[in-house]
Amino acid sequence: MKKYLSHSVIETEKLAEEFSRDIKEGDIICLSGDLGAGKTHFVRGFVKGFGLPADVVSSPTFAIINEYDGEVPIYHFDCYRLEHVSEALEIGSEEYFYGNGVSIIEWPEKIREILPDYTIDIRILVTGKEEREIIFSF
Ligand SMILES: Nc1ncnc2c1ncn2[C@@H]1O[C@H](COP(=O)(O)OP(=O)(O)OP(=O)(O)O)[C@@H](O)[C@H]1O
Ligand SMILES: [Mg+2]
């Protein structure tokens, strides 16, 4: 387990970009944390590590998944609005998980039962107005 303190959005994005260097095709990253913790900002930094600008990342209002065409495909899930895990199955989530891309998932607890057991788990805790504790499970 590794813990970092971030003091700004920029620092969170930098941490995520550095973290992305250890990620390879087929990896599944679960991002937990309250509303407004910084999960989407983490994804913005993460995609930079795959050669994409941060602003390709959006918080989908209706879509559960956004796909970004980086050096490897990046599947960005936001499961907040899911009411039942069956909705994730209907959009073919499992094909993403077991495909060639990298999956990064906000609100993974909503779909935990269909996730494989080898996910990489990251938790973001709000510890101050601009301070965040970012905890990596490995
Ligand atoms: N150190 C920090 N790292 C990340 N975000 C920060 C930090 N300090 C302040 N913030 C603010 O916290 C908010 C994080 O928003 P973001 O959309 O990334 O959260 P989220 O975890 O994805 O929320 P949601 O669950 O609603 O999707 C932004 O308003 C951002 O400016
Ligand atoms: Mg978000």
Q: Which two tokens stand for residue 134?
A: 């970012």
- Strands of the sheet containing 2-6, edge to edge, are 2-6, 132-136, 120-126, 28-32, 102-106, 73-78, 65-69
For a substitution probing ligand 1, which of 4, 11, 39, 41 has the most ligand atoms within 8 Å of its CB? 41
Give me the tens of pLDDT residue by residue for the chain, a chain 138 residues long: 999 999 999 999 999 999 999 999 999 999 999 999 999 999 999 999 999 999 999 876 677 999 999 999 999 999 999 999 999 999 999 999 999 999 999 999 999 999 999 999 999 999 999 999 999 998
Asked if 42 and 49 touch (Cβ cutoff 8 Å), the reply is: no
Q: Which CATH architecture has domain 2-136?
A: 3-Layer(aba) Sandwich (3.40)
pLDDT of residue 115: 97
Candidates 34, 33, 40, 41; CA nearest to 14 is 41
Ligand nearest to the CA of 8: 1
Asked if 74 and 99 touch (Cβ cutoff 8 Å), the reply is: no
What is the rounded distance in angstroms from the CA atom of residue 103 to the CA atom of residue 99? Answer: 9
What is the rounded distance in angstroms from the CA atom of residue 105 to the CA atom of residue 121? Answer: 10
Nearest ligand 1 atom to the CA of 38 is: 18
pLDDT of residue 60: 64
Q: Return the ∠ at Cα 48 (arms to 33 and 124), rounded to 5°.
A: 15
pLDDT of residue 138: 83
For a substitution probing ligand 1, which of 6, 40, 109 has the most ligand atoms within 8 Å of its CB? 40
pLDDT of residue 59: 73
